[in-house]
């Protein structure tokens, strides 16, 4: 039980720092090509996860769900910041 609790705290800490770094990067870097690098990594990761889901019989570990959730949060931050800068400032 304690091990699972510690694992979730580690995930939460990593997620917090990644989101904080994403917010800083979005505000510092305004070139759209920079974000294409993130897209390449994200789509590669999603391709591998999709392959594992479709063609493997194993249950996926919890960290895959965490990363997919984190990708969603980071996408919302990046797109939300771009929309706010474009339409509301």
Nearest to 42 by CA among 11, 13, 16, 73: 73
Q: Dump the DSSP string for 37-70.
A: HHHHHHHHHHHHHHHHHHH--SPPPHHHHHHHHH
Q: Is the dihedral of CA 2, 73, 69, 32 positive or negative?
A: negative
| Model confidence, pTM | 0.52
Return the pLDDT at 61: 77
Return the pLDDT at 1: 53
Q: Give residue 56's region: left, alpha or beta (phi > 0; psi -120 to 50).
A: beta
Query: Each residue of 44-76: pLDDT tens digit?
Result: 887 887 777 778 777 777 777 788 888 878 877
Q: Where are the domains of the chain?
A: 2-87
């Amino acid at each position: 039980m304690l091990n699972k609790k510690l694992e979730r705290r580690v995930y939460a800490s990593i997620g917090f720092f990644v989101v904080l770094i994403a917010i800083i990067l979005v505000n510092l870097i305004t070139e759209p090509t920079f974000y294409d690098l993130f897209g390449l990594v994200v789509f590669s990761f999603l391709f591998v996860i999709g392959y594992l889901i479709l063609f493997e019989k194993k249950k996926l570990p919890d960290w895959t769900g965490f990363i997919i959730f984190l990708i969603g949060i980071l996408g919302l931050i990046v797109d939300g910041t771009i929309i706010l800068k474009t339409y509301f400032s």
